[in-house]
Amino acid sequence: MQKRELPSVVKIRKRIKTNRLLLRPVTLEDAMDMYEYASDPQNAYYVFPTNKSIEETRENINNIFLKNPIGKYGIELKSTGKMIGTIYLLNIDEPNRNAELSYVLNHNFEEQGYAIEAVRALENIFFREMNFVRLYARHTLDNRRSESLMERGGMVREGIARQEVEFRGEMVDMCYHAIVQSDYRDLLM
């Protein structure tokens, strides 16, 4: 009888440590930290509707992070224990070994290298341990900060999907970036 290998999503770690961060499952105890940035229009603008109450944030944690936690992480500062954002894989396509990367960071913690540290940690797991071949992310054309983070993470601009999503009442174009396993190996050299 041949030994069957576990699906790669089962291999995703529950906790990932970096120099300054702990990527770990989001819990209801994170509601206040998440509400701090999810209720801030500056933070939520490109990602999701602004949370109007702590109850809405708890409901979002339950629906997004607790019901299907695989590949979804809170970004916690090791020094304080504060959750400053989330990073996760969605649209995981195991047969084709690719997935989409999504993230949001409390704007009070931007420009300190936390986002790229989290992206690189997840890329490491994605390519080295899960043995996936393509990680992609997308952003609205005017979201230059997200585009910059994608490029610093080794992603290459692939193209534009025209009128792909509804954003603030109108259909907008989305710009796709991706990194493939060979690009990732080149980054390590």
pLDDT of residue 160: 97
What's the predicted TM-score (pTM) here? 0.90
Kindly report, residue by residue over 106-163, the tens digit of the pLDDT: 999 999 999 999 999 999 999 998 899 999 999 999 899 999 999 999 999 999 999 9
Q: How confident is the model at residue 185 (pLDDT cuts 50, 70, 90)?
A: confident
94 pLDDT above the threshold of 50: yes
- Which sequence spans correspond to the domains of the chain? 8-188
pLDDT of residue 9: 61
Q: How confident is the model at residue 1 (pLDDT cuts 50, 70, 90)?
A: very low
Domain at 8-188, CATH class: alpha beta
Kindly report, residue by residue over 8-54, the tens digit of the pLDDT: 665 667 899 999 999 999 999 999 999 999 999 888 777 888 889 99
188 pLDDT above the threshold of 80: no
More confident residue, 167 or 151: 151
How far is 116 from 154, CA to CA, in rounded Å? 10
pLDDT mean over 71-99: 95
Q: Which long-range contacts (CB under 8 A, 24 or more apart) does 127-133 make?
A: 127/181, 127/184, 127/185, 129/11, 129/13, 130/8, 130/9, 130/11, 130/12, 130/97, 131/8, 131/97, 131/181, 132/8, 132/97, 132/98, 132/99, 132/181, 133/96, 133/97, 133/98, 133/180, 133/181
How far is 158 from 57, CA to CA, in rounded Å? 33
pLDDT mean over 96-113: 95
